[in-house]
Structure 1
Amino acid sequence: MKNQFLNVVAIISAVLLVGCKQSETDRKSAEKIENSVKYAAGLAIYDYGDYSVVKVNNPWPNASMNYNYVLVEKGAKIPDSLSGYEHVNVPVKTIIATSTTHVPSLEMLGVENSLVGFPNLDYISSEKIRARIDAKKIKELGNNQSLNTEVIIDLNPGVIIGYGIDNNNQTLENLKKSGLKIVLNGDWNEQTSLGKAEWIKLFGALYGLEDEANKIFTDIETEYNATLALVKDAKSKPTVMAGAMYENKWYLPDGKSWGADLIAQGGGDYLWSESKGTGSLSLPFEAVLNEASNAEFWIGPGQFTSLKEMTAANSHYAQFKAYKDKKVYSFSSKKGKTGGVIYYELAPNRPDLVIKDIVKILHPELLPDYELYFFEKLD
């Protein structure tokens, strides 16, 4: 009889414990958890302890749907309301990235050894990653629009970080159907510097390194804002032109783009700041000459790395005051050992360095001891 009584008590206790645990989980799920992302318009992360909810919207311009993920730690109980979200087990052990802008986050978090595959390996400039490529530890995956699915399936990564310019990447869809986990990254579609950089928090969540990612981003944010504070003391606002000819059109940053925002934040008067787009603007040469013939600075002249190279391509570049005064600055000169432009890879992740470059170019008196990191004055 005593044993029967104890068995009943044990059963009741177990039921009560399960009920209490479930109630606690439900309580946490019902709590108002704040989004840990502050600047990135296309990313939201909600941390519930043993799982996180990640929401990605606008991973490309005019995206028609949002993408929702649950990052699940081992043993976590996930509410039924999240059953329709893509589930990814974390922390991930191996990863495939598809853009060079994903690489710096891995390196800053110290998890670059988890990268097992990448398309167009020559584009990567990071010395640490290049050493792993040379050691045959990272597989070549072709290109983004036709990834080598056979190699990827054989690698069986914990997650693939994808991106797209539209909703038309059939390769990613096929990989998803094969059972692989794909998380979209929309960092390239952010229009603010800190918004782009904040996507490191996605990688922090995937690796269980949220605190480390938050600290890295906060340090970048602090440096960025400290440089902006210096610009308030600038005594002038020099005029700035940008871009270069390609075939019969001149391509330059639109007025609401990331590039234009950097020039404005750095204390420059970008001559196309009133244009409304967020991408690039294409204009006839005559329109650019009419607007910018007397611009004081020329920042980002396409892929050119010398003044001689510019006029060899188009003698009309010499008509601009910025060219005549040798105030042309390019980021295309600094490349990795296989030709990848370092700016394309690192700049979106390190706006604190980019803004210092811009301020050094336009207002050198504000940063007398700083040396340009990405840009170089063309001779």
Structure 2
Amino acid sequence: MNENKYTVRKLFPILLLIICFACKDNKNSITDRLPAKDYSEIIRLHAEGFSIINHGHYKVLTIKSPWPKAEKSFKYALIPRENLATITLNSDEYDGIIATPIEKIVVTSTTHIPALELLGVEETLVGFPGTDYISSEKTRALINAESIRELGKNEGINTEVLLELQPEVVVGFGIDGNNKTFETIKKSGIPVMYNGDWVEKSPLAKAEWIKFFGALYNKTAEADSIFNSIEKAYNDAKTLASKVKNTPTVLSGALHKDVWYLPSGTSPEAQLLKDANVNYLWQDVAGEGSLALSFEAVFTKGKSANIWLSPSYYNSLETLKNANEHYTEFDAFKNKTIYSFVNVTGATGGVTYYEEGTARPDLVLKDIIKVCHPELLPEYETHFFKPLE
């Protein structure tokens, strides 16, 4: 009995040392495999449609508003590649578990292209539906070099080609969530992430979705810096415009069949006009999306408008006149003060505004200020808006 006690006493320091090492190893294992208790949210200043929570060893990106009146949100775990072997998550809790930084991606809207270029990751783009719509010279060079494959139309992506490319993620957008092509892609094991930048309520909120892409490429700091510079340029232009006393009246839109569509007073487009310090004639009319009015209603209110912005897809005064002789009765037509962005295109006809306008609201605002208050920006040349000839 005494001999046993002596043996235990003798071995106790060794046993204690073994236990300590075992506890240390186990502690490291738990730390690697479980999310940190302390977490923080990546700061968003304007955007409401997404959130990014940093759990230390991985991030969780949640898409809250993928389309108007969406009742479902989507949650994705973003795990740095070096942590993949040590992070264990329940895949049933996520719509996708994605290794970052992304090495191969497919996006489906031209509004996604500028974010990739601003972050310097455009070479990770391997496929796009409707490559002719892309106007950027940098990305067009990749298309011409056959680094980016044509995937057909967004409504019916060529899934055979896409599966051959094996992207790590497809960034799509949805009108209502009913996209059979996206469901097919998901079933193949490729995550589909819904980008809801177009649902946001302000120009800066839309631009802030660069942080969505920043999270995918482990470039959060770079995305923050890029957005901050865009926001500053926007606010500086807004401050400059706020000092003028002359606020010209502005008309927008045009007829489609028998309905005149133009921005509601609560739309991002109306926000741009407000920040440019102009008198948009429908700025007090709230609504979701566009207002749908009769020609008579628009003519009564807008006949004497000083400036007519964005008359649908019409690219000249002649095409506008040929479409409807009554357009010539507006003062803006008579005075040739009609401005549009449709004539600024890329090499294959893609309209630059549709690609870059969402990402660079500062340029759009400066364009409108130049058109409406030319004396404020004497050296500035418009980026998107040009007068109809």
Structure-1-length-normalised TM-score: 0.94
Picking from 3, 7, 14, the partner of 2:22 is 14
Cross-structure match for 2:211: 201
Cross-structure match for 1:346: 356
What is the SS of the residue equivalent to 2:146? coil
Cross-structure match for 2:370: 360
Cross-structure match for 1:150: 160
1:237-281: CA deviations, max 9, x gaps? Answer: 211100011111111112211111111111111111222223112
Cross-structure match for 1:247: 257
1:135-166: CA deviations, max 9, x gaps? Answer: 11111111122111111111110111011111
Corresponding letter in the other structure for 1:319: E
What is the SS of the residue equivalent to 2:41? coil
- Counterparts in 2 of 1:133 and 1:3: CA distance versus 1, 3 Å: farther
1:10-51: CA deviations, max 9, x gaps? Answer: 45313234326636986x733251342221110111223331
The worse-fitting range, judged by mean Cα deviation, of 67-76 and 93-102 is 67-76
Structure-2-length-normalised TM-score: 0.92
Segments of 4+ in structure 1 off by > 6 A? Answer: 1-5
1:158-192: CA deviations, max 9, x gaps? Answer: 11101111111111111111100111100111121
The reply to whether residue 106 of structure 1 matches residue 113 of structure 2 is no
* C-alpha RMSD of matched pairs (Å): 2.1
Alignment of 1:171-186 (within 5 A): 171-186=181-196
Cross-structure match for 1:234: 244
* Alpha-carbon separation, structure 1, partners of 2:140 and 2:31: 49
Alignment of 1:1-379 (within 5 A): 9-10=17-18, 12-19=20-27, 22=30, 29-74=36-81, 75=83, 78=87, 84-85=93-94, 86-379=96-389
* Alpha-carbon separation, structure 2, partners of 1:83 and 1:19: 26
1:36–1:46 CA contact under 8 A, matched in 2? no
* Alpha-carbon separation, structure 2, partners of 1:336 and 1:168: 31
* Deviation at residue 363 of structure 1 after TM alignment: 1.2
1:258–1:278 CA contact under 8 A, matched in 2? no
- Counterparts in 2 of 1:89 and 1:375: CA distance versus 1, 3 Å: same
Q: Give structure 2 stretches of 5+ with no counterpart.
A: 1-6
* Alpha-carbon separation, structure 2, partners of 1:209 and 1:70: 16
* Alpha-carbon separation, structure 2, partners of 1:193 and 1:79: 38
What is the SS of the residue equivalent to 2:47? coil
* Deviation at residue 79 of structure 1 after TM alignment: 7.4
Q: Give structure 1 stretches of 5+ with no counterpart.
A: none
2:36–2:57 CA contact under 8 A, matched in 1? no
What is the SS of the residue equivalent to 1:69? strand
Aligned length in residues: 378
Corresponding letter in the other structure for 1:49: G
- Counterparts in 2 of 1:110 and 1:35: CA distance versus 1, 3 Å: closer
1:337-373: CA deviations, max 9, x gaps? Answer: 1111000000000011011011111111211211111
* Alpha-carbon separation, structure 1, partners of 2:214 and 2:162: 23
1:58-103: CA deviations, max 9, x gaps? Answer: 1111111111111011325557688602211111101000000000
What is the SS of the residue equivalent to 1:58? coil
2:111–2:355 CA contact under 8 A, matched in 1? yes
Corresponding letter in the other structure for 2:21: S
1:204–1:210 CA contact under 8 A, matched in 2? yes
Corresponding letter in the other structure for 1:118: F
Corresponding letter in the other structure for 1:366: L
1:294–1:321 CA contact under 8 A, matched in 2? yes
Matched-pair identity in %: 44
Cross-structure match for 2:3: none
Corresponding letter in the other structure for 2:268: W
Structure with bigger gyration radius? 2
Corresponding letter in the other structure for 1:66: S
* Alpha-carbon separation, structure 2, partners of 1:109 and 1:58: 24
1:191–1:278 CA contact under 8 A, matched in 2? no
* Alpha-carbon separation, structure 1, partners of 2:237 and 2:80: 39
What is the SS of the residue equivalent to 2:52? strand
Corresponding letter in the other structure for 1:245: L
* Alpha-carbon separation, structure 1, partners of 2:346 and 2:41: 40
